[in-house]
Amino acid sequence: MPLKPSTHFVRARKTTSARSNAGTVGWPSTAMIVAMRAGLAVVVATAAQVPPAAAHAYLDHTNPAVNSSVTASPPVIKLWFTGRIQHAFSGVTVTDHSNQRVDLNNVSFPTSQENELDIGLKSLPPGTYTVHWHVLAIDGHSTEGSFTFNVANPR
């Protein structure tokens, strides 16, 4: 016995305008919109107060240059950073191919440069040397790294 069509389908409820659905699922209330706008304003204001990333101290340049080859043993390695560094929490070491220190363990910070770090070296024979550095920027972020340079045989 076939069923009547009216028992197969449930008639959809007729809705009125979208305005009358405010507060139901899918439509934010006016109070919710105001709260979202206020939250967005707080995020924008906070982001405007964050110091720029340039305040971090990344390695800018060195003497001798990174991955360079020099003809004579340099007396000092000089490192310059992109931001000011905290001297008490920054340092550098220089090692040879057997991981033995070849620096004089005399890190210095020139008084005129708040972004420079220097270390004296022993007289270096020809070979490849690794400079290991770590610094703490005045913004509290630490960075570290290493690079090599080569002392070539004199000609």
pLDDT at 64: 97
**Residue 7 pLDDT:** 47
Give per-residue pLDDT as tens, 63-106.
Answer: 999 999 999 999 999 999 999 999 999 999 999 999 999 999 99
* CA–CA dist 152, 28 (Å, integer): 72
CA 101 to chain centroid, in Å, comes to: 29
Q: Which CATH number does 54-151 carry?
A: 2.60.40.1220
What pLDDT was estimated at residue 10? Answer: 44
Residue 107 has pLDDT above 80, yes or no: yes
Q: What is the pLDDT of residue 52?
A: 47
pLDDT given for residue 59 in this prediction: 96
What pLDDT digit, counting tens, does each position of 5-48 carry?
544 444 444 545 555 555 556 666 787 677 777 666 655 555 54
Report pLDDT digits (tens) over 120-152. Answer: 999 999 999 999 999 999 999 999 999 999 999
Whether the CB-CB separation of 134 and 109 falls below 8 Å is answered with no
Half-sphere exposure of 67 (CA within 13 A, CB side): 0
Q: Where are the domains of the chain?
A: 11-49, 54-151
Rounded CA gap, 63 and 149, in Å?
A: 10
Query: Tell me, what's the pLDDT at 102?
Result: 98
Residue 50 has pLDDT above 50, yes or no: no
The answer, yes or no, to whether residue 49 has pLDDT greater than 70, is no
* Cα atoms in the 13 Å half-sphere on the side-chain side of 49: 6
What pLDDT score does 40 carry?
Answer: 63
pLDDT of residue 19: 54
